[in-house]
Structure 1
Amino acid sequence: MNAQQPIVPDPAGAAIAVRPGEQAEIELKLLAPQAILEKLREMPVIVQHARNRGVVRQLETVYYDTPERALFQRGMSLRVRRSGKHFIQTLKLLPDIGRPLARWQWETSVDGMTPDLAQLPVAEIGDPLTTLTPDALVPAFATRVRRHARQLDLPDASVEIAFDVGTIEAGTRQEVLSEIELELKSGNAGALFDLGTQLLDAAPLQVGTRSKAERGYALAFDVVQPAAKAEPINITAEHAVDDVIALLGGACWHHLLRNHAVAKEGSDPEGVHQMRIALRRLRTICALFRREIPSPSFEAINSEARWLMRQLGQTRDWDVFATTIVSRVATTTPEVDFGGLRDAIERQRKSNYSSLQAVLDDPRYSRFLLSLGHWVERRRWRNDIDSDALAVLSQPMPALADKILARQQRKVRKRGTHFRQLDTAARHSLRIELKRLRYAAEFFLPLYTGHAPAKRYVARLARLQKSLGRVCDIASIRGLLGSVRQGDQAALHLAIGTVTGWQARDEIAAATTLRKKWRRFKATPAFWGR
């Protein structure tokens, strides 16, 4: 279990096809120091609903993989756990995009701490298990945990709450483990968020976004957590509007959590970018549905998503400045010294990432994640609406999709009136509506798979949005340049002037291209309502 070179897991691991079974683990993880866990053990909500004092166990777990980490690369983890005299082998998959709390798993008894693949439904699970031999697996890392578990009988669910304290171990490396696991045994998954929120009310907790296995791989092999893009959501014509909102909202929750660790570590600028995309998609859902379903919950979710987007915004702006703009200009003007400008930008980036880390540690962020999960699992948009809105929720999605897309396209065209004369603020407003139209088109695209024009429309929309984004970014960079104008460093000011000149040239060229793409988009026929 020696540390090796950094690796990046294959995002395609999430796409493994598995036949649904009864072995879906639905779990919410909360993180806190051990002292806080001790304080929470006897909370009234736990004592009142616990069947008994619970059970304390010492759990020794070894995780296995091939030397090439074939299981990890496919989004799997395989472990053998000893609890007393019993040995349990468990294979887990990545969370389901449609149910972000759910992880498919298979548990079987084995004779010792060595895995036995013959006990697993290998044919059902598929590669790479079908090609593995027993001797191909080696220990990767281990955990040693003291677990205090209690069964809670809540009003509409049975939940196991486990207080885990221990270590993750990989060779000479070690990491403290201190967390609460809430596992749904039966009933409504919304109960996990109800309970999680009550625990957060009593102590500062963080929502856990990585499993023990993910943390173990990071510790043992210096795994670089990759940023994750939004995954396709398979909406069908048979889905009711109510189900579609739940699917879309759950996908946004999953997308947000999968990028939390990357954004917080600052290891890849794409992490912050993808978190912002997840939030924009979430806000788009709120904007698209609230006319027909005027639930106050849409505005509540939108408000907190807007707050978090603002916290991420400055960090994203400096990332774009550092990783694209300066590098491109420096390549074309090698005679200019950009060292001072790069140093100034990097100081700003570090400052913004430091501020962002504080935001992601803030209880307000944890509360937002819990409220979003609660909103999805409890389908809170059903609350405080009249019978007409309830009737809309029960309708099949296609008819409403046509209506939403047509309405959003009208908004885009209205914002784009007198396109050539739009100022910076008006272009920004148009960009927002374009993004909403694009996300709406992508959300509902599976409903129109039989229409070739659908993909053409989305492609032209994406190209227009990208061009408009480039123009808007130029305006943002202009403001950032102003914030690094300090001192009398001639080289720094020369670099700033060079970037400013290139940006002005790019703005003129981009404006011409943008007008062409706007005309082309306006001429593209709608793919809905046919």
Structure 2
Amino acid sequence: MPSGDELEVALDEGTIDADSGSVPIAAVELELRHGQAESLYGVALELLETVPLRIDHVSKADLGYELLVAEHSDAVKARPVHLNRRDSVEDAFCTVVRNCLDQVHANERGVVSGHDPSSVHQMRVGLRRLRSALDLFATGIPAYPGLDGELRWIASELGAARDWEVLAGATLDRSGTIGNADEIQPVRQACERIAVNNRQRAAAAVESVRYTRLVLQLAVWLNRKGWRGGMSDEQRKGIGGAAGKFAAEVLRDRHRKLIKRGKRLADLDDHRRHRARIAAKKVRYATEFFASLCARRAVQHYVEALTALQDDLGWRNDAVVADQLLKLLPQTSPEAASGAAFARGYLASRVAADHQTLKKRWKRFRRLSPPH
């Protein structure tokens, strides 16, 4: 540890008790009394090599209150990003990444508890936003080697649970409203069983040493601005430029890419439509990241049209994923074979019927210019 840095270490062991139950406590608390934050993270990483630890973002008092009132953590959506027109590109990067991480961390406990599928969804959204932010700034601030691979790993652990949750819920709801509930019910029950198992897998991943290491390494890199080490003077000057100018260039570039990917959108095959959907998602995230630097009315109109387009592309993607999962379902749940076949056919008919709606939504969006 650097000379002069001072850390306080406390060991807590015991239980929090209430009428509704008790929660065991076994914690190592590290507090930086004096020095650099990376010293704190460095000690935590060293401990992680010896003891399987995970980070808890909730205090003992909050745990006690949750137990007292018998409440669970609610799923947390992303909060608005607030940037200043005087911010540099590097300032904007740090603010955006921390905003994404706040959403990820706020949903960890919900994922671990397994009580609410929405926490899995919102943590996954936070990870997607984070990966999009890293990609958005990558030309000026490249991520450290291996980061994207680790983010892909944890996102995939959450994704398996989420895909089956969506199928068991919203997707099958579309198939079960036309008098065939008896056929759909075995499908729903089988999907729910798989979703529960996958939620347990997602919880284990979030509690794993691998995930804790990812969180700590990312925090170290962000706090010490680790990207600066290998930069030239010209590169440092580039990330010191105005965030507003950078934002305008990014929004124009991402808008152009979406327009190119979405040409004849309603007639694209699944693969090319999926690429257009990803491009739309990147535009949406970039617009939300930089909204505070743009005219409010322009952002509002743009996001409204983009949201309608994304909703359409999103449920179409859910239908594609559902078709793949429903093909597999009879292998493990033969009793669901008939209902799965019906659901596949019904969803295919819904996708075909949506052709004109998608054309109209794409036409509306294509007329707009990116906000500035």
Q: TM-score, normalised by structure 1?
A: 0.67
1:249 matched to 2:122? The reply is no
CA distance in 1, matches of 2:255, 2:160: 29
Q: 1:331 to 1:172 in 2, by over 3 A?
A: closer
SS for the counterpart of 1:514 is: helix
Q: 2:354 aligns with which of 505, 510, 513?
A: 510
Counterpart position of 1:359:
205
**Which structure has more helix as a fraction of its residues?**
2
8 Å CA contact 2:175, 2:347 repeated in 1: no
Render the CA deviation track for 1:197-246: whole Å, top value 9, x for unaligned. 11112221111132212211222221121000011121110112212111
CA distance in 2, matches of 1:314, 1:441: 28
By how many angstroms is 1:170 displaced?
Answer: 2.0
Matching residue's letter, 1:485: P
1:398 matched to 2:244? The reply is yes
1:169 matched to 2:17? The reply is yes
Render the CA deviation track for 1:150-202: whole Å, top value 9, x for unaligned. xxxx4574322212122212248332211111122233333322221111122
**Which structure has more strand as a fraction of its residues?**
1
1:215 matched to 2:215? The reply is no
By how many angstroms is 1:259 displaced?
Answer: 0.4
CA distance in 1, matches of 2:20, 2:188: 38
CA distance in 1, matches of 2:165, 2:332: 23
SS for the counterpart of 1:247 is: helix
By how many angstroms is 1:427 displaced?
Answer: 1.4
1:447 matched to 2:293? The reply is yes
SS for the counterpart of 1:466 is: helix
8 Å CA contact 1:156, 1:188 repeated in 2: no
Larger radius of gyration: 1
Q: TM-score, normalised by structure 2?
A: 0.93
Q: 1:430 to 1:172 in 2, by over 3 A?
A: closer
By how many angstroms is 1:287 displaced?
Answer: 0.8
1:525 matched to 2:352? The reply is no
Counterpart position of 2:122:
274
1:311 matched to 2:157? The reply is yes
Which consecutive unaligned segments of at least 5 residues does structure 2 have?
Answer: none
CA distance in 1, matches of 2:94, 2:223: 7
Q: 1:387 to 1:263 in 2, by over 3 A?
A: same
Percentage identity across paired residues of the two chains: 31
Q: 1:172 to 1:441 in 2, by over 3 A?
A: closer
Q: 1:332 aligns with which of 158, 173, 178?
A: 178
1:430 matched to 2:276? The reply is yes
Q: 1:155 to 1:338 in 2, by over 3 A?
A: farther
Q: 1:324 to 1:282 in 2, by over 3 A?
A: same
**Larger relative contact order (Cα-Cα within 8 Å, sequence gap ≥ 6):** 2
Summarize the alignment of residues 11-410 of structure 1 with structure 2, pairs less than 5 Å apart.
154-155=2-3, 157-171=5-19, 173-293=21-141, 295-297=142-144, 300-334=146-180, 336-410=182-256
Q: 1:445 to 1:199 in 2, by over 3 A?
A: same
Matching residue's letter, 1:205: L
Matching residue's letter, 1:312: L
8 Å CA contact 2:37, 2:223 repeated in 1: yes
Q: 1:488 to 1:253 in 2, by over 3 A?
A: closer
1:497 matched to 2:341? The reply is yes
Counterpart position of 2:307:
462
By how many angstroms is 1:334 displaced?
Answer: 4.6
Cα RMSD over matched residues?
2.1
8 Å CA contact 2:258, 2:276 repeated in 1: yes
Counterpart position of 1:473:
318
Matching residue's letter, 1:343: Q
By how many angstroms is 1:367 displaced?
Answer: 0.8
8 Å CA contact 2:164, 2:194 repeated in 1: yes
Render the CA deviation track for 1:434-482: whole Å, top value 9, x for unaligned. 111111100100011x452221112211211111111111100001101
Mean CA deviation greater in 356-365 or 307-316? 356-365
Q: 1:434 to 1:325 in 2, by over 3 A?
A: same
8 Å CA contact 2:77, 2:103 repeated in 1: yes
By how many angstroms is 1:283 displaced?
Answer: 0.6
Q: 1:207 to 1:516 in 2, by over 3 A?
A: same
8 Å CA contact 2:127, 2:151 repeated in 1: yes
Matching residue's letter, 1:522: R
By how many angstroms is 1:404 displaced?
Answer: 1.2
